[in-house]
Amino acid sequence: MRTIKARHEATVPFGIQMAALELVSTFNEMGEIEQHTQSDNGGIVAGEIASGAFNMHKASVTVSLQAIDASNTKLLFRASAKEGLISQKTAEKAIRRILESMD
C-alpha cells in the first residue's frame, strides 16, 4: 500500500474560538481527535476521519488554525491515507468532508 497526501488552505468566516469548536465537533462526528491545542492566535486539531469509498477507510488529518482577525480564521489542512492500487482519494475526501460540514 502507498501513502497518499493532500494539502488544502481555506478561510472560514468564524473567529478562532468558533472555528476550533466547529473542527472539534466535526472530528468527533466523523472520527476521533488525537490532538487539540489552542491559543489566542492559533491552534491545531488532529485526528482520524472516516473517508474514501463508503467512508470505510481512515485518513489522518491535521488542521492548523491561524487567526486572521476577530471574525476570520485561516485553516491549513494536511491529510494522508493508505491507498491500494485503485485510488479512492481518501485524504482529499476527508478534507472536503470537514469543510462541507463547517458550512
Q: Tens of pLDDT along 5-35?
A: 999 999 999 999 999 999 999 999 999 999 9
Alpha helices in 31-89 (DSSP H): none
Q: What is the pLDDT of residue 45?
A: 96
For the entire predicted model, the pTM comes to 0.91
**Whole-number pLDDT of residue 34:** 94
User: Which is it for strands 57-69 and 31-38: parallel, antiparallel or unpaired?
Assistant: unpaired
Q: Tell me the fold of 2-101.
A: Alpha-D-Glucose-1,6-Bisphosphate; Chain A, domain 4 (3.30.530)
pLDDT digits (tens, 9 = 90+) for 49-84: 988 777 778 999 999 999 999 999 999 999 999 988
Give dist(CA 7, CA 88) in Å, integer: 16
- Distant-in-sequence, close-in-space partners of 98: CB < 8 Å, separation ≥ 6: 23, 26, 27, 30, 49, 61, 63, 77
* Contact (Cβ atoms closer than 8 angstroms) between residue 61 and residue 7: no
| Domain residue ranges of the chain, discontinuous segments joined by + | 2-101
Please, are residues 78 and 65 in contact by the beta-carbon 8 Å criterion? no
Cα three-residue angle 3-54-96, rounded to 5 degrees: 65
Query: What radius of gyration do the chain's Cα atoms show?
Result: 13
